Amino acid sequence: MPFNFNDLTPLARAGVPERSTRFTPELTLWNDTLPGGGAWSGIVRRGTALRFTDVAGRANIAVLMFAHPQHTERYCMPDTLKSQHTAFLTRGHTCQSDMGKAICSIPEDTCGWHDTVCGVIDAAALKAQYGDKPYQQHRNAMHRIGQDGLLVELTKW
């Protein structure tokens, strides 16, 4: 599906720098595949695009975003959904900060919608769903808790 800048909401268009380049694979600066339960964090500058791809067809992603360098301004899911009168995010939507600013925009989407309401799994829910499976017993097939991954990445900044 071709991307048309004019299809974006005015708020999303305001977040695009004056000069931006349509993504092509040749522009990829860094590529990584995260295992289930894996985590990553980094500084993403204005005008830089992130592309998330579910290679197995059954994954989800938990994303926290903070303004840099002042980490007191962060992504706010309720404000994001309320300001755009939607329950799901897709192409043309923006993610709002808790201070009402667009923190990022979604210029392209091959899924069609993204559920922003469900959070990451915690230790109790993981144990209830999958049972108690220690690493020593299940080796690399151990289950990782998304909540722990987010906390580890937050401590880096």
* Structure confidence at residue 5 (pLDDT): 65
- Domain extents for the chain? 5-155
d(Cα 91, Cα 110) in Å, to the nearest integer? 9
The pTM (predicted TM-score) of the whole model is: 0.67
DSSP track, 109-132: -SSS-EE-S-----HHHHHHHH--
Which residue shows structure tokens 């201070």?
99
Phi first, then psi, for residue 96 (nearest 5°) are -95, 150
Per-position pLDDT tens, the chain of length 157: 455 667 777 766 666 666 666 767 777 777 888 877 778 888 888 777 788 887 777 667 788 888 888 788 989 999 999 999 988 888 889 899 999 888 888 888 888 877 777 777 778 887 887 777 666 776 655 667 778 888 888 888 7
Cβ atoms within 10 Å of 38's Cβ, excluding its own: 11
d(Cα 118, Cα 65) in Å, to the nearest integer? 16
